[in-house]
Structures are given as structure tokens and as C-alpha cells.
Amino acid sequence: MYANGSTVPSPVKDIGVLAKTNSLLISWSRGSGKVERYQLMLMDRGNLVHSSTVDTTFYTFHGLTPGHLYNVTIASEAAGLQNYRWKSARTIPQKVGDLEANSNGSTKSLVVSWSPPAGDWEQYRILLWNASSVLLNVTVGKEETLYVIDDVGLIPGRQYEIEVTVESGNLKNSTRCHGRTVPAQVTGLRVANQGTTSSLFTNWTQALGGVEFYQVLLIHENVVIKNESVSSDTSRYSFHSLKSGSLYSVVVTTVSGGISSRQVVVEGRTVPSSVSGVTVNNSGRSDYLSISWLPAPGDVDNYVVTLSHDGRVLQSLVIAKSVGECSFSSLTPGRLYNVTITTRSGKYESHSFSQERTVPNKVQGVSISNSARSDYLKVSWVHASGDFDHYEVTIKNKNNFIQTKSIPKSENECIFVKLVPGRLYSVTVSTKSGQYEASEQGNGRTIPEAVKDLTLQNRSTEDLWVTWTRADGDVDQYEIQLLFNDMKVFPPFHLVSTATEYPFTSLTPGRKYKILVLTISGDVQQSAFIEGFTVPAAVTNLRITENSTRHLSFSWTPSEGELNSYNIFLYNPDRTLKDRAQVDPQVQSFSFQNLLQGRMYRMVIVTHSGELSNESFIFGRTGSISIGFGEERTESLKEDGEEVKWPLEGYYGMVATSKVPRPHALKLSWSPASGDFDFYELILYNPNGTKKENWKDKDLTEWRFHGLVPGRKYTLCVVTHSGDLSNRATGESRTAPSPPSLMSFADVTNTSLAITWKGPPDWTDYDDFELQWFPRDAVTVFNPYSNRKSEGRIVHGLRPGRSYQFSVRTVSGDSWKTYSKPIFGSVRTKPDKIQNLHCRPQNSTAIACSWIPPDSDFDGYSIECRKMDTQEVEFSRKLEKEKSLLNIMMLVPHKRYLVSIKVQSAGMTSEVVEDSTITMIDRPPPPPPHIRVNKKDVLISKSSINFTFNCSWFSDTNGAVKYFTVVVREADGNDELKPEPQHPLPSYLEYRHNASIRVYQTDYFASKCAESPDSNSKSFNIKLGAEMESLGGKCDPNQQKFCDGPLKPRTAYREWVKRAFGLVQKLQFIM
């Protein structure tokens, strides 16, 4: 039998797998025999994933899962038959993503992180390399995405390589990255200026680990002004051309591989520059120095300006950096001071120095006396206050130096002789201190000589003509006065120094006058005089009142002036004397009898006065007589000014008025004259009677005179003219004087001061000065010189510490005065010092001081507390004026302290008041709680308590217990309340007389606990309330001391024993 059939094809051989992350390349070898094709099946856990038929010996599966395990089956097909071979195949796992290693700011660890791969894997393996050395080989679970590498000794700043391998079966896939630890900081960073103003020097200890370089920053005011990189082997750096006194920050950072360490920052400051252009100026003052300077370049916190003398700091001021000046006042005149200007910036300082001297004080009260001599002047003065070297006295005349004398500082007068009569000398007394001087000037004049050869050269009824030979020496002017019965007839007439004659007119006929010629030099004068008569006046209006054939009657108007008698003569036509008679001055008519009819007679009337005579005559026969009448008018004048009235001569009941006068002008106004008139004549007379101005006009009711001398009294005259008749109104007015100047104050105390000023120029007129002050306290003003024109006053009775405003104005005139504008000045008196300063210890570290405030105007107190032994200041402060009690604390136990208190009123300071006291010793420790007085041993009466204690109760750990006192307090239910730890407490008398006081103490009594070894057994028996001597004894109301007195009945008391001076033992008793 014959049949056909096919054998099963041979399976494939040598199956090979080439894996990738998402594909598998399958290759194989043919088996023996015939094969038509191959069928490939990719299985995943029994599930067909992919199937394909190929006639080649390889095939690639794509789109697979990385790291996944598959089964590959290859079927050989031939004649419909198949033969199978299979093999496991795994794709390569995928690499991790985003692999990186960060230090996270750490110098000794790295944090490795990554993103998980796609597909399947079993675990991660992490390797850490340092160069070629593996430092770490570790596996981590597939769920991890971060691993911290520490505790393997990583070095700061070093770079490491990290490999992360994804493992899946026996396949793996790796990724590498680099990571670097943060470099270490430098240590020991320091900055110094090495005393320079423009440089800083920094150094440090090099950082551990890897370092590529150091970054060094210099920062000023948050701005980086220097950024330098220095090599890793450098450990110092310097900065130059910096701003003086400025605060800089130096930042040093370690850099390795682009990674910076934490910054190390330190601050440093350059030394501030000292100020320049220091100028110390006394501004011409004796108590003041002003200091100015150019600002120091760079940064400055502030300036401290110190004023010292002889190595002792007197004043110190802290000045803001924006200010370039300050001043010191209340300094000693003429003293040389050292000025130090300290520039401060942070803890650094620099200094500039200078010296200057205050202007010395002027002498006071320069007095120049001529002692009534014409060739001699004596100069004296009150000593200048403050420091100075000597006096220099210079006498000169019109800037021509005559003599200069150097006077020791201990003397205060000098004499100049052989001077010119009547000459005005200027004397300057200079106080010399170093290159400065302060001068006080005075003027003195020798007595002038009198005129010589004074003679009455000529005379008439109304005139006297006097002549003289000029006086020797200097003469400013002559004043000539006409006196009648020693009363001035006219205001004095002033003549130039070259005058040698003067006529007096408008005099009274027949009067005996005395003519006085004064030689005037400045305010001194010498006189000469002569006496003589004016010619008597002849009678007037001589007329024939009656005639007949046998007689003639005459009448006349009496002679003006003075006369002794009339002689009447009647002459015939041939000039022979017919008759004569002598009549008294009162007779005004006379008749001659028994005359011849129709004859022309000549009658002569001779007026006699002294040895002089005058005559009138008339021819009489028959005839008519005419009579003329005169008429007077009155005017009123006014002068522009304040309401000041004066009578007008010749105008009955009329006055002139004046408003506030001016120094150089007068304004005259008047009511128009009644009736008819032609014009006014305005005349202004100088004080010597000479005309200064003369004006004529009709249509005027006022006139202003200019260019007048301040303070001078002028005579004003308005003459009304009508034809050849006139009438006049006269009055006097005064210009305002020139004001004083240069007011200053000296010798200021708490209740008095001296005021000086510069008076008006010598060519002006004035008589006195008026001093006013505000507030209007009741003070006493004293003029130390006899001359009202002296340029200074002394004021007493001022209130201490008060600020006063003074005004001075010039006065001209006596009864009717004019005043200048005032000048003003302010000054403050020194405040009074405090009274009854008492300092006492409070405890071992505090003292209390109390005092009575001064009766002054003041602002507060300046208080200072020093150790007596070292003079070290322990406490210094300003205190308000309302306080008069101060506790000073934080002192050293058992140390003597000196407390100084000054009263301050603005810039004025009182005298210092000082008291000293000793702080207490440290209080002993309290007794043990179990030590108490046994109540069974206490005896209580209505007014006393008797108890006992002994030395053993008290410790001498902090020093020997030297004294005890008993403190008593009324109980109020609080058994644990102790008396306040103050010293001293009120006394028994204060307790009994003040219901608000609930606690008091007895007197101190000696402990004697440390006198012998067995003193601890010593006990004290106390009978409180029984006037016990050791407790102070019986109380005396007249003595303020600690004492012992009866206790209040039915009162609960608590008692303590205090020892030097701590609270130690509590007792409680009910009375």
C-alpha cells in the first residue's frame, strides 16, 4: 500500500534576543528540513500580545513596555504542520529622569533626586564616586525618588559623581550626574582700621574643604562698593581710599564650583577725621568764647567740644554733626582756655586743639580829678574782675599821645603832671591780658586860667562895654554874665575863645551891674569879675504944663532905670543960671516963679546915679503940649511837641505847648495876631543870647527850625510888626537829647549789678540819665559818682535769679525835661544758693538729701555726688525746681560721699552748697524664724511694755552689730507687715503729735555684743514707754531728738529691734 505524508518540520535553533527599552529583536537559526514559514507569538503572562508570520529568521517587536518580561514562541510551519520553540525575553528598563544631586545648603551631605522611569523595574542602585573611588553603593526600592547621602564623610566644597541604575531582572539602565557640597565658611573674620582714617584691613582663617576662591565684598550704606575675588590661599585683604569715620560691612564668601558658602559678615569703621579750620573767637566779650570749625570729612556721629583751663575740664558740649559751631558763656574774663574738638564716630575719636583767651574785663568807675589845679590830673579806678596781666594808662589830647604808664595789677591809680591849663585830656585805662585788652576811657580837664586885665571900656544908658586879655592855656569859650544884686539879668552869653570884649545892651539906665567873665574849658571854668554903673537915663516927655507972665510949670516922665535924684536948672537966654533945685526921683513936675514976662528960658533936668549923670532940656515960653499913647498886643505861641507849658514874656496869660521833642529840630506854631500887622519876625536865640536864625514872613502860623543841638534849650521869639510898632512873644523850648549807647552789665551778683553805658557826644547838651527796669521791683539805684552825667549806676535790691530788662535814656533839663529814645539791655541775676542742705544715709547703698529751695527765680538744680576719697563722680543729673528731696542709690556700702548742689537760672548758677554723709554698713542677716520673744516673759502695763532680748539672736556675718533701736508700730490686723526699710524713722514726739504717723523709733543704744567672747549671752532688758534713758529718755518738746514716752492705752502695738540698721525681731503686744 502506498501513501503520501509530511514529517513535522524541525524547530528553530539558536534563538537570540536583542533587547531595547521598548522593543525586542528576535533572531534564530533554521532547523533541518523544509520550513515554509515561521509564526512568532509574543506572550505576556499567557496572553498573546503580538503575533506575526515571517519567512525570515529575525523579527522585531515594537511598542513594548520597558523592563517587562515577555515569552517569545516561534512556530516552524511546513505542510500544515508546526513545531515550536519558546524563550523568555525582557526589555531593558528605562533610565530615571531629571536626575540631580543638590547640597541644599549643606557642607556635608547631598540630596539625590530623580523622576521614576516608564515601564517595569525592580529597584534602584545608587553609586557615589570621588574621582575613581566608590564611596557609596546602595540599593533602594522602586518606590523611592530621593536619597540623602550623608555620614559618608563628604568634604565641603568638593564635587562628586552620582550614578543611579534602574534594575529589572538582569537588565539595568544607568544615569549619572554631578553634585557638589556647599563650601565651608571662613572663620575668625576680623576688621581693623589700624588707626587710619581711610583704610580697613581684614583677615580670616581659611575655610576647610574645597575652595576655588574667596569673594570679598565691602558694603557701605547697603551699597556694594568693592567686589573682589581672591585666591584660595589668601587669608587677608585691605581696602583703601575709604570714607573717614564710616561704618563698613566686610562680607567674605567661600566659592567652589559656582556654589557659595554662607556669608561671614563683620563690621568695621574707619577713624573719623579731625575737624579743620578751627576758629575760637571771643567776639570782643569777656565772658564768652565761640568756636567754629569746618565739618570733618566723612561720617561723624557728633562732636564733643571741651573747654579746659590748667588741665581741668570746665565745660563740655555734645554737638550734632550738622552743626559747625558752639559757644561757652559765663567764663572768666581775660582767662586763657584750651579748646578740644573731638570728632566721634562709633567708638573712634579724633581731636583738634586750639587756644583762646576771653577779653579781660574793663576797669570800673574811672575817675579823673584835677584837684582844682591847672597842671595836674589824678586817675583812679575800681579793679577789673577776672584774669589780667597789668594795667596800661594812656593820657592824650586830640589823639596826640603825651604819656603811657604801665601800672601793676595790684594798684589802681596814677598821676600826670605838667599839663596845659584848661586842656581836655582823654585817659584810657586798659586791662591787659595776653594780646587782648579792654579799655575804659574817661575824660578829665585841668582847671583853665582866668582872663586878665578885665576893664569897663565904655558905657551908656543901656550899654556897658567890657574888655579883657585872653586866658593862658586851652579855652573853649567865654561865658559872660551880667548880674544885678547877684541875679542874672540875661541868660549867660557864650563867646568864642578868641573874644576879648563884649557889649551889653538894653540895660537899665543908672543901675550898678556886676560883670562876670568865665573861662570855660569843657565842664570846668575859672572866673573874673568887675562892677560898674550904666549912665542914668534922662527924663522924657519934658513939657511946659503952664505958663504965665511970671512963672513956668514943667512936667516930665520919670527916667527909666535907677537914679539917686534930679537937679533942675533954669537958664536965661544968655545962658546964665536963673534958678536951680534938687528934687527926689518921685517928683514929676516943678514950677519956677518970679520970672520975666515973655522971656525964653531953657530948663535942664539932670539925672544922677552914682557918679554918673544924664540930662534933658526944654525951652519954654508959651506953647501947646501934645500927648501920644502906645498900645500893646498879646499873642499865643505853640511849639510842636508834647504838652509842656511855659509862660511867654510880654503876653499876659499866654502859653506855648510842645509835643515829644526831636533831637535836631523844633516846630513852632501860634495863633494869628489880632488886628492889623505887616509881618512876623521869627527869631531863634542860642542859650548865650546870640541869634541862631531870623525869618520874616506874614502868612505863617508855624515854623520848623532844623540843625539844632540835641538837648539844648533855645529861646523862641515871634515879633509882630505893624509900621514902626512891634510886639513880641517869647518862650523857651528844648530839643530832645541824643540817646546813650553801648549798655553793658558787670559785677552781677544775686541781688545787685553795675550798669554802664556810653553817653551822648560832648558837643550835645544833657544833664542826667534816667534808668528804668522791668519787672518793676522795688530796687535801689545808686550813682557812685557825684556827677549826674556819670555813665553808670549800681542797682541793689534785685531778686535773685530773675531776668530784668533795663532801659536808659538821656535827660536834658531840670524842671522842664526832655528825654531821648531809650536803649535796652537784658541781664539775669545769679540765683541764691539752697539753704539747710542735709544728706543722710538711707541704707547701705543709698543716701537721701533734702534742702530748702532758695527765694529766687530759678529753673532747677544741678546735683553731683562724688566719692570723698577718690573724687570720682558717682551721680550727676539735673533736677526740677519743684523737688527738694532726692534719693541717690546704687552706692557702695560704708563709703563717705560728697553731694554738691547748685541752683540754675537759665545760664546763671548759684554758689555751690555741699554736704557729706556715709552710707550704712550692709545689714546683718535676719535672725532665724524660730527666735521670738516669749510672751510669758513680757510685762505689759497701761503705758509700757517690758521685754528682754540678747546678743545671740543677731549675726555679725556682715560686720559687728554696734547699735540697736526699737521700732514701734500700731497694729492694724496685718501681722506680717513690717515697717518701711528707711532711716531714720519718725521720733516719738512726731508720732504723738501727728495722727497720720503710725510708726516711730527710739534712740540708738550701744550693743557691746562684740566686746568679749561670752558676749553672746549678754541680754538687754527693755522697758518701752517708761522714758528709759537708753532709749532716749524723757521727751523735751523743745528738742528734736529720739526719745521714749508713754504708749497709748488699749492700743495694739508691734515692735521690732533694729540693729545697725537692719530689721531683726518682731514683737506683738496689745496695750
Rg of the Cα trace of the chain? 63
Assign 821 to helix, strand or coil.
Answer: coil
Structural domain contains residue 790 = yes
What is the 3-class SS of 67-109, one letter each residue?
CCEEEEEEEEEECCEEEEEEEEEECCCCCCEEEEEECCCCCCC
Largest interatomic CA distance in the chain = 252
What is the rounded average pLDDT of the residues 312-324?
A: 91
pLDDT bucket at 959, cuts 50 / 70 / 90? low
Is residue 720 within 8 Å of 730, Cβ to Cβ? no
Report the pLDDT value the prediction gives residue 1071, as an integer from 0 to 100: 36
Helix ranges (DSSP H) in 882-1022: 988-993
Q: How far is residue 667's CA from residue 705's CA, in Å, rounded to a whole number? A: 6
- 984 upstream amide cis, omega within 30 of 0: yes
Q: Among all chains, which residue has been given the C-alpha cell 554918673?
A: 612
CA 917 to chain centre: 34
What is the average pLDDT across 705-723?
Answer: 87
8 assigned to some structural domain:
no
Name the DSSP letter for residue 1030: G
Instruction: Give the whole-angstrom CA distance, residue 1018 versus residue 977.
Output: 29
Cα separation, 243 vs 197, in Å, equals 7
- Which domain range does residue 883 map to? 835-918
In order, the DSSP letters of 212-230 are: SEEEEEEEETTEEEEEEEE
The pLDDT score that the predictor gives to residue 648 is 38
User: Mean per-residue pLDDT for 317-323?
Assistant: 91
Number of structural domains (the chain) is: 11
Alpha-carbon span 848 to 860, nearest angstrom? 18
Residue 1011 and residue 975 share a domain: yes
Is residue 4 in a domain? Answer: no
- State the pLDDT at residue 922: 63
Distance from C-alpha of 637 to C-alpha of 644, rounded to nearest angstrom? 12
* DSSP assignments along 118-171, one per residue: SS---EEEEEEEETTEEEEEEEEETT--EEEE-SS-PPTT-EEEEEEEEEETTE
In the numeric block, which cell numbers belong to residue 569?
536948672
810 has which bridge partners?
Answer: 769
Nearest-CA neighbor of 60 among 37, 101, 38, 27?
27
Question: CA-CA distance, 542 to 554, in Å (whole number)?
Answer: 7
Confidence of residue 977 (pLDDT cuts 50, 70, 90): low
Give yes or no for residue 631 having a pLDDT over 50.
no
Residue 365: name the closest of 256, 454, 425, 440 by CA. Answer: 440
pLDDT for residue 1006 is more than 90: no
Is residue 1010 classed as helix, strand or coil in its secondary structure? coil
Share of the chain above pLDDT 70, in %: 91
Residue 1058: which pLDDT band, with cuts at 50, 70 and 90?
low
Query: Is it the case that residue 935 has pLDDT exceeding 80?
Result: no
Is 394 part of any domain? Answer: yes
pTM for this structure? 0.42
Task: Judge whether 627 lies within some domain.
Answer: no
Cell numbers for 390: 597789668
Give backbone dihedrals phi and psi of 275, rounded to 5 degrees, phi first.
-70, 160
Residues 943 and 1058 in one domain: yes
Residues 301, 590: Cα–Cα separation, whole Å = 115
- 469-480 average pLDDT score: 89
Mean predicted confidence (pLDDT) in 133-137: 90
Only one residue has cell 521598548, namely 22
For residue 628, tell me if it sits in a domain.
Answer: no
- Half-sphere CA count of 118, side-chain side, radius 13 A: 6
> What tens digit of pLDDT does each residue of 7-21 get?
888 999 999 999 999
Q: Give the mean pLDDT of 59-71.
A: 93
942 and 1025 housed in the same domain: yes
**Measuring CA to CA, which residue among 609, 598, 603 is closest to residue 560?**
609
Amino acid at site 415 = I
Least confident of 170-179, 831-840, 843-852: 843-852
The CA angle 251-256-260, to the nearest 5 degrees, is 40
Beta strands in 706-859 (DSSP E): 713-722, 725-734, 741-746, 753-758, 768-774, 780-782, 792-796, 803-812, 818-819, 823-828, 835-843, 846-852
Q: What is the pLDDT of residue 925?
A: 63
CATH number of the domain bearing residue 653: 2.60.40.10
Residue 186: closest CA among 107, 109, 247 = 107
On whether both 843 and 820 belong to a single domain, the answer is no
Bridge-partner residues for 129, per DSSP?
134, 161
Mean pLDDT over the full length of the chain: 85
Nearest to 228 by CA among 220, 970, 237: 237
Residue 306 has pLDDT above 60, yes or no: yes
pLDDT value at residue 46: 86
Please tell me whether residues 940 and 1018 are part of one structural domain. yes
Same structural domain, 664 and 703: yes
Give dist(CA 469, CA 499) in Å, integer.
9
Shared-domain flag, residues 1030 and 913 = no
Question: Do residues 907 and 935 lie in contact, with contact meaning Cβ atoms separated by under 8 Å?
Answer: no
945 plus 1046 within the same structural domain:
yes
Last residue of a domain, one of 712, 734, 756: 734
Instruction: Dump pLDDT digits (tens) for 446-465.
Output: 899 899 999 988 888 888 89
Contacts of 1 (CB under 8 A, 6+ apart): none
CA distance linking residue 499 with residue 666, whole number of Å:
30
Comparing CA positions, the residue from 429, 308, 432, 428 lying closest to residue 359 is 432
Structural contact between residues 159 and 222, judged by C-beta atoms closer than 8 angstroms: no
- Contact at 8 Å (CB) between 148 and 72? no
Q: Give the dihedral of Cα atoms 323, 329, 331, 334; nearest 10 deg.
A: 80
CA dist 646 and 658 (Å) reads 9
Most confident of 121-125, 670-674, 725-729: 121-125
Can the peptide bond before residue 1061 be classed as cis, meaning omega within 30 degrees of 0? yes
- Of 585, 620, 655, the last residue of a domain is 620
The burial class, CB within 10 Å (0-12 / 13-18 / 19+), for 975 is exposed
- The domain boundary, picked from 827, 849, 880, lies at 827
Instruction: Tell me what pLDDT residue 624 has.
Output: 28
Residue 930 lies in a domain: no
Together in a domain, 291 and 369: no
> Which residues, including other chains, have CB under 8 Å from residue 830's CB and lie 6 or more apart?
748, 749, 750, 800, 801, 905, 908, 909, 910
Q: Report pLDDT for 1066.
A: 38
Residues 159 and 199 in one domain: no
Helix (H) or strand (E) holding 991: helix 988-993
**Are 944 and 1038 part of one and the same domain?**
yes
Torsion of CA 569, 573, 574, 575, to 10 degrees: 20
Contact 471, 450 (CB under 8 A): yes
**Residue of 842, 837, 846, 898 lying closest to 872 (CA atoms):** 898
pLDDT of residue 1010: 61
Please measure the distance between the N-terminal and C-terminal CA atoms of the chain and give it in whole angstroms.
159
What pLDDT sits at residue 883? 87
CA dihedral 264, 265, 270, 272 (to 10 degrees): -170
Please indicate, yes or no, if residue 1017 is contained in any of the structural domains: yes
Domain co-membership, 957 together with 1015: yes
Neighbours of 453 (CB within 10 A): 10
Angstrom distance (rounded) from CA 145 to CA 167:
14
Most confident of 173-177, 563-567, 777-781, 905-909: 173-177
* Residue 323: HSE in the Cβ half-sphere, 13 Å Cα cutoff: 14
Beta bridge partners, 393, equal 405, 429
